[in-house]
Amino acid sequence: MKKPQLLRDHITRACPDLATNPEKLTVFIERGQIVHTGTPALSFEYRYTLNIVITDWSGSTDVLIVPVVAWLKRFQPDIFDNPARRERAFRFESEIIDHQTADIGIEIDLTETVAVKGETVGGVNRLTTRHIGEPLLAMPGESETITDLAAEWRIESMDD
């Protein structure tokens, strides 16, 4: 699976405190499934809940959520495009530690399609896998701008 590491890297670039203190950011997977259509092909889809836990966060929650929304618009756009998924696929909780810090948990239902191809190379049969990317729904170049916006700009909450 590639999306967990991609999202972790994206959040770390967008939030300098997490780059400086990587122990505050934990990413793990729950409720994973493998879905196969029953066809002769070996291609399949991963379906899982990605859990992101940020401990001792003292900034605005907006600073965490904006990069995640930007990343999802590029790498899992159906979360926002599908009304049923929009209501359930992106969740959070927060435990208020004191007047300045909180532990924040984010849950996101993700999918990854894996194409499996069989080929014979030099008389050796082998299988190769390739993760199929999400379709770009924006104009060429625009999607990267949306995603990079949250990773390369400093995000500040006007409420702070």
Q: Per the structure, how many domains does the chain have?
A: 1
CATH classification at residue 57:
3.30.2000
Residue 31 has pLDDT above 70, yes or no: yes
125-144 average pLDDT score: 66
DSSP string, 33-59: EEE--SSSS--EEEEEEEEEEEEEE-S
Assess whether pLDDT exceeds 60 at residue 22.
yes
Residue 86 lies in a domain: yes
Whether 68 and 91 have beta carbons less than 8 Å apart is answered as: no
Average pLDDT of the chain to the nearest whole number: 84
Which is more confident, 134 or 13?
13
Structural domain of 112 = 3-152
pTM above the 0.85 mark?
no
Q: Is residue 122 part of a domain?
A: yes
Answer whether residue 67 is part of any domain. yes
pLDDT at 75 over 70: yes
Residues of the chain above pLDDT 90, percent:
59
157 falls within a domain = no
